[in-house]
């Protein structure tokens, strides 16, 4: 029954409004406004979110959301008797019932837009995240059809991916943004604290590893005391709403990150281990002398379709192992000095460090192509290993 529903989103909530605070009075005083886009004159329901009114169609809401479909399927109770003997019903405006929603007007507007126009998202920048987060929060809350939530999650996952390949594409866009705008690449995407909080709220755990990793690349000062203009600076806090709901846009630092020492310790240990493991980045030694290259083992390794006994392409072999070992030792010393000692805070991005280490020798210009390619292959393996370890750094599994 609508009037007896315990859920706060009940038509009876609006009925308790005193006559002196009727919707028309509040509109006349400027304390309520009609949403400029979602006020349909032929609508059959008025939604009130904080100080904003939306006039929409019950049929549209019921088509796309199980919550509204079930709500309006319930029979209406008899009208209640007022003190003067007359009968009262729920508050109405322009002949429509009024439903009070305890959500921000921005989130409601974004949800209504998706219901009417379908999912149509942007480029995963901060403005786009505000739209996505509202849609995802309310699609979970009001049981919006699964395709809508799935499309929103798929879109936001391109900015906060679960694979290393997708992460590298994301980073390429961030670097391009930095070059084109002159701003820090951190401004390209949403505040990672807000992403972590959203993922927790809507049970989208697949967003957490990349969001935590992004957050770990900042210093504690940048996280807890961001300067004006920093990527982690909270947005201006709007005034607390008349319904008593706190602002939804100000991110709150996840307790799991604040309390976990593994975020900082994990990445520092990862970088140290990376540099120490560089000594294993050389090419594999040849398994047999040239006179044995047509042995049975070589025949067994022949590529499918190649003539019997004709081995497939082999890895390049280092022709100057002593010189290359010396070269590699010097590179390890340079990397140790640069990443562990010279930088005041060290490098906070193990994935980027591994990528740089793999490029210390270029196969195009190196005297030893075998060693250059071996270093690149080693770095690629290490980056995959690091990516798989990220959830453990933040105790996500």
Q: 157 and 126 share a domain?
A: yes
Mean pLDDT of 360-369: 69
Q: 175 and 272 share a domain?
A: no
Q: 4 and 50 share a domain?
A: yes
Nearest to 10 by CA among 102, 86, 81: 102
pLDDT tens-place string over residues 205-233: 999 999 999 998 888 888 888 999 899 98
Q: 88 and 126 share a domain?
A: no
Residue 124 near residue 50 (C-beta atoms within 8 A): no
Residues facing 80 on adjacent strands:
88
In-domain check, residue 202: yes
In-domain check, residue 294: no
30, pLDDT greater than 80 = yes
Structural tokens at position 26: 């509040």
Domain finish residue from 102, 127, 161: 102
Mean pLDDT of 71-93: 62
Q: 108 and 243 share a domain?
A: yes
In-domain check, residue 304: no
- Alpha helix stretches (DSSP H) within 187-336: 192-202, 208-216, 220-224, 255-259, 262-277, 296-300, 321-336
321, pLDDT greater than 50 = yes
Q: 24 and 112 share a domain?
A: no
The number of domains in the chain is: 3
In-domain check, residue 310: no
In-domain check, residue 134: yes
Domain finish residue from 102, 128, 153: 102
For residue 47, give its domain range. Answer: 1-102
Q: 119 and 93 share a domain?
A: no
Q: 336 and 358 share a domain?
A: yes
CA dist list (Å): 313 to 51, 227, 288, 374: 71, 56, 15, 16
CA dist list (Å): 263 to 213, 258, 348, 354, 389: 8, 9, 10, 18, 11
In-domain check, residue 309: no
Q: 126 and 197 share a domain?
A: yes
Band of pLDDT at residue 343, cut at 50, 70 and 90: low
Higher pLDDT, 10 or 202: 202
In-domain check, residue 293: no
87, pLDDT greater than 50 = no
Q: 77 and 156 share a domain?
A: no
pLDDT tens-place string over residues 248-275: 444 556 555 554 445 566 667 778 888 8
Q: Would you report the helix, strand and coil content of the chain in percent, each value rounded to 5?
A: 50, 10, 40
Domain finish residue from 77, 102, 127: 102
Q: 212 and 121 share a domain?
A: yes
């Amino acid at each position: 029954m609508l009037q007896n529903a315990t859920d706060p989103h009940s038509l009876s909530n609006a009925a308790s409004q005193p006559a002196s605070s009727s919707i028309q009075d509040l509109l006349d005083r400027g304390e309520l406004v009609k949403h400029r886009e979602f006020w349909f004159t032929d609508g059959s329901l008025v939604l009130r979110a904080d100080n904003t009114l939306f006039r929409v169609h019950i049929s549209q809401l019921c088509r796309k959301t199980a919550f509204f479909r079930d709500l309006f399927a319930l029979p209406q109770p008899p009208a209640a008797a007022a003190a003067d003997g007359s009968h009262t019903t729920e508050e109405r405006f322009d002949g429509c019932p009024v439903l009070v929603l305890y959500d921000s007007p921005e989130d409601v507007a974004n949800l209504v837009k998706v219901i009417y126009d379908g999912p149509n998202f942007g480029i995963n920048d901060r403005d786009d995240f505000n739209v996505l987060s509202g849609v995802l929060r309310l699609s979970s809350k009001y049981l919006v059809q699964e395709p809508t939530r799935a499309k929103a999650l798929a879109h936001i996952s391109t900015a906060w991916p679960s694979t290393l390949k997708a992460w590298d594409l994301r980073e390429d866009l961030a670097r391009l943004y930095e070059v084109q705008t002159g701003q820090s690449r951190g401004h390209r995407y949403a505040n990672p604290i807000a992403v972590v909080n959203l993922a927790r709220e809507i049970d989208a755990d697949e967003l957490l590893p990349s969001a935590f990793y992004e957050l770990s690349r900042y210093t504690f000062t940048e996280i807890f005391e961001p300067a004006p203009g920093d990527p982690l600076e909270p947005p201006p806090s709007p005034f607390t709403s008349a319904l008593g709901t706190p602002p939804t846009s100000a991110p709150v630092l996840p307790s799991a990150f604040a309390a976990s020492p593994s975020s900082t310790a994990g990445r520092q240990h990862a970088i140290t281990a990376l540099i120490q493991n560089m000594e294993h980045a050389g090419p594999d030694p040849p398994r047999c002398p040239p006179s044995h290259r047509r042995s049975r083992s070589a025949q067994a390794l022949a590529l499918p379709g190649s003539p019997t006994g004709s081995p497939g392409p082999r890895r390049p072999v280092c022709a100057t192992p002593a010189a290359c070992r010396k070269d590699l030792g010097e590179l390890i010393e340079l990397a140790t000095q640069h990443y562990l000692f010279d930088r005041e805070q060290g490098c906070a991005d193990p994935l980027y460090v591994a990528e740089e280490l793999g490029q210390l020798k270029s196969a195009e210009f190196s005297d030893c192509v075998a060693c250059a390619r071996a270093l690149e292959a080693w770095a690629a393996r290490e980056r995959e290993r690091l990516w798989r370890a990220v959830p453990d750094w933040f105790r996500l599994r």
